[in-house]
Structure 1
Amino acid sequence: MNTTSAAVAGAVTFLWLGMVLAISFLEAPLKFRAPGVTIQIGLGIGRMVFRALNLVETALAVIVVAAVATATPSTAVVTLTAITLAVLAGQLAVVRPRLNRRFDTVLAGEDPARHRSRAHLYYVALELVKVLSLLTLGCAVLAR
């Protein structure tokens, strides 16, 4: 990859990684421990935060793809970019709609303990894969 494309792809990849780590693995679990935050309030906040995160992630993904596409990337960079995009697409197209339906039922007053959903676990598993792919992609892009 040329220097400019590598710098842009690396910077954006690590920015994206930092956002995912900060929101998914720090903010999300901590908000439920704050005094006075009920499950309904926490879910309402979470829905807004993750909607914003996913919009920003989509924009960052477009920038990474553009930077990679304008260079001569290695097979590893192309593969890692594809994995990262596939994970994000899976979260947005498959898991988020399920989570939104679940949030709607809980926000409408259903006891969350009454009916457990695995959608949250799938989202977290995909977040872990995304973190690993972003970390590896960032390193691969900057290694040239």
Structure 2
Amino acid sequence: MNTPWAAVAAATAFVWLGMVLAISFLEAPLKFRAPGVTLRIGLGIGRLVFRALNRAETALAAVLVLAVAAGGLPAPVVVLTGLVVGLLLAQLGAVRPVLNRRSDRVLAGEDVPRSRTHLVYVACESAKVLLLLALGVAALSV
């Protein structure tokens, strides 16, 4: 077991956690409360912000996997890493495409009903927060 790799894993998990908290639970809901921000403008901004977040998350996931693999870290860290990376892949592969199709329609001017898929995304983000917190703590305990 290599403790510098555990430190890299912990730092990566906590940076990722901070980004998810800041974007998903602070920026995303607040932008719709700003004066003059319509649904269409908010969705346009949100798509850009979440595309950037997802790219950063993908890079952080790669660093995390590398640190865990290189460091020979204990099973709890490996399992939590697999869960958080798997959750990210599910969001990117299954949930985000559905949300993007809906936002395409809204941005094109269609009147579309509210989507429950957004609640699925929020649930995934909430689970990701818990997993990243647990992962960071587990990696610090190495």
- TM-score, normalised to structure 2, is 0.97
**Identity %, equivalent residues:** 65
What's 2:123 paired with? 125
Q: Does 1:64 align with 2:64?
A: yes
Please show how residues 1-144 of structure 1 align to structure 2 within 5 Å. 1-112=1-112, 115-144=113-142
Shift of 1:111: 2.6
Unaligned runs of 5+ in 2: none
Shift of 1:104: 0.6
Segments ≥4 residues shifted beyond 2 Å: none
Q: Which amino acid aligns with 2:141?
A: A
- Structure 2 counterpart SS, 1:126: helix
1:134, 1:67 → 2: CA distance?
Answer: 15
Q: Which amino acid aligns with 2:75?
A: T
1:7, 1:76 → 2: CA distance?
Answer: 15
- TM-score, normalised to structure 1, is 0.96
Q: Which amino acid aligns with 1:134?
A: L
Q: How many residues align?
A: 142
1:3, 1:86 → 2: CA distance?
Answer: 24
- Structure 2 counterpart SS, 1:70: helix
1:79, 1:65 → 2: CA distance?
Answer: 11
Shift of 1:91: 0.4
